[in-house]
Every structure is written in C-alpha cells, then in structure tokens.
Amino acid sequence: MMESVLFVDDEAMVLEYLGCLFRNEGVKVLLANDGAEALEIVRREEVAVLVTDYLLPVIDGLELIARVKTLSVATVPILMSGITDLPAFLEQQQPEPLFCHFEKPWKGPEMVSAVREGVKRFRELRNRKRREECLIHSLGRLIERKDGWTKGHCDRVADYALLIADALQLSEQERQEIQQGSWLHDCGKIRVPALILNAERRLTDEEFAVIKMHPLWGVEIAGRSRLPERVINIVQSHHERLDGLGYPHGLAGREIPLEARIVAIADIYDALSSDRPYRPAFPAETARNMVAQMAGSALDPELVRLFFLQLDSQQRAGQPAHAVMLPGCRGGRCGDYPDCVNRPVADAELVA
C-alpha cells in the first residue's frame, strides 16, 4: 500500500515544488496550505509523514505537529522554517519530538532523503504497534479459553467502550489504550481457578474473595509488561463504583479514571447480554434497563447516556448488535449471582 506524505505550507509555489519533487517517489502526495486543512486530512486518512512549515496562519507548525500526534501517533513529523538558528529556537520551545528539521532554503535531494527515512520509520512504528496489539489481544483470548463462557467478551467490551470514546471525541492514543485495556481488563483471572470461574451456582464468600483479587493480579501482569497508564487503570479499576462500594480500592466518583468508568459500562452491558454459567443472557432491552438502573450509583450517568445514544445510532444505521437474544433469568434465581443488580447494593460486585 502506498503511504501518504502530507506537505503543509502557505506558499503555493512551495507546495507546487514539493508536489513535483515527490511525484515519482512512490508515495501519495497530500497538500494543505494551513493547519486546519491539514488536520482535516489527518482525520480522514492515515498519514505516514507530515512535512510542515513553522509559520502558518492560525496554527503554527509546532502546534500542528502536537495536534496531529493526538490523532495519529505513528505519523513522523518534519519541520521546515526560515528561522535563523533553528536548533536553538526548538530547544527553547521544547516541542513534540521531531524526526528532523530543515532551515529554508532547503535542498530537494535532502528533503527527499529525509521523507524516505520518515516513511521507513513510520512503517517500523506501525508494525511495532501491530505486534504489540497482537500480543495484548492474544493474552485476552488466553483468559477466554480458561473461562469458556466469555468467548468474544474482550472484543465486544472493546467495541462498546470505543463507542463511548468516539462520543467523547477522544484522541487516537486514548482510543488505542482503551481498546487495549478492554482486551486485558480481566487478565488477572488467569490466576483464578477454573472451578470458580465456571461455577454454575452461587459463589461462596471465600470464592468471591478470590474473584475480587483479579484486578490486582491483573495490575501485576500489566505492570510487568510496562503497559500504558490508561491500560493499567482499566485493569485495576473497572470494578470500582461511583458510590465507592466497588473493588479493589473503593474509589468513588471522579477518583475512578475516565477510561475505567468507560470500560465498566461496556463490561457490565456485555456480561448482562451474554450467557453465563449460572444464567442465560438477558434480552438486549432488559440488559439496557439494568444498566440504566446503575447510572448514578455504580456507573457514570453521563457516560451511560452517551453509550445509549451510540447504541441507538448503531441500530438506526442497521449495524448488527452484539447481544445474544435469549430468555431472561432461569427460574428467577439471577439475584443469587455476582452480576445481577437484584443483589443488595453492598454486595453488588457488578460482573465479576
């Protein structure tokens, strides 16, 4: 696939020259004459290398690079500028790390060489990211193989969590880490005995105490892997509650990281609308009503509202829902089990 290189300059002649210079370089050339136009391009398609002038109308080149990095972490930035003693200026500004920079007037062959190396760097970053995502996803699948009732759970939780992330217009980096945290949120269950995970009965207090350790065990795994802070926050805090009655630390309200509050909603909704060893799935509308009942006590009400808006938008667009449409609680016994809201609030472990 041909990588895209975006050139940004408010001088038409410079853009025209750059377009000609890279016409036969095996890249897709994109041109923008200001930062706003450049950001729109980056939102629409993947950009391997960004080459931007510093002096631009409204948004200068350094600010543009910083904003692009929130949208596309792997994009490689190159700065052009007519500022004399550019290295000293950049040291004073302390901008986002640059791949390289050029003082005007620059030479065509040097620019071509820098962009070629930038494309190679982009490929390395993209491939590394894909390998890391593959490893993280594989670990999530490993947990599912131990707990056969949760097959596909981590993928569905990620999909639901990203609906909320999209509604909040979070950056690409935040979305990626929320996706990874969703895949790994239950990784600590690798240390929970399968007899407890797959029990078709109410857990004893001692067994549930073991279940409640999985966020802390998960943090040990995520910490050893040097995963990002947001991923670790999700693993550790996806069972915390707004009212402080969750676990493992009893955090309340905004003490709970945003990413963990997002994944908690996705996790609970998918657990309620999926089969578990002690009950079949709730119908989608029932699961939705149960989540709504938790808003304000266990779950962030604004995030629940956004989640429902996104679900409704999906349905209007005709996209398939993840929920398995099966009858409700078997024999009315669901209140005996960890993920049922009919349990007393103090005991509401909310989808262990």
The 8-class DSSP code of residue 77 comes to: E
Q: Is residue 23 part of a domain?
A: yes
pTM of the model: 0.60
Q: Is residue 327 part of a domain?
A: yes
Residues 281 and 323 in one domain: yes
Which of the listed residues 56, 91, 124 is the one where a domain comes to its end? 124
Q: Is residue 141 part of a domain?
A: no
Residues 245 and 319 in one domain: yes
The whole-angstrom separation of Cα 272 and Cα 283 is 9
Residues 13 and 59 in one domain: yes
Residues 107 and 158 in one domain: no
CATH number at residue 247: 1.10.3210.10
Instruction: Give yes or no: 189 in active site.
Output: yes
Q: Is residue 134 part of a domain?
A: no
Domain count, the chain: 2
Q: Please name the residue ranges forming H helices in the chain.
A: 12-21, 35-44, 61-71, 86-93, 108-146, 153-167, 172-184, 194-197, 205-211, 214-224, 229-237, 258-272, 284-294, 301-316
- pLDDT by residue for the chain (352 residues), tens digit each? 789 999 999 999 999 999 999 988 999 999 999 999 999 999 999 999 999 999 898 888 899 998 898 888 889 999 988 776 777 777 777 666 788 888 888 999 999 999 999 999 999 888 877 777 676 776 666 666 655 555 678 889 999 999 999 999 998 889 989 998 998 898 888 888 877 877 777 788 888 889 899 999 989 888 777 788 999 999 999 999 999 999 999 999 999 999 999 999 999 999 888 876 667 778 888 899 999 999 999 999 999 999 999 999 887 776 654 433 222 333 333 333 333 333 333 333 344 5
Spatial neighbors of 316 by CB under 8 A, at least 6 apart, are none
CATH number at residue 103: 3.40.50.2300
| Number of residues that this document lists for the chain | 352
Catalytic-labelled residue, pool 107, 129, 189, 212 = 189
Domain that holds residue 175: 147-347
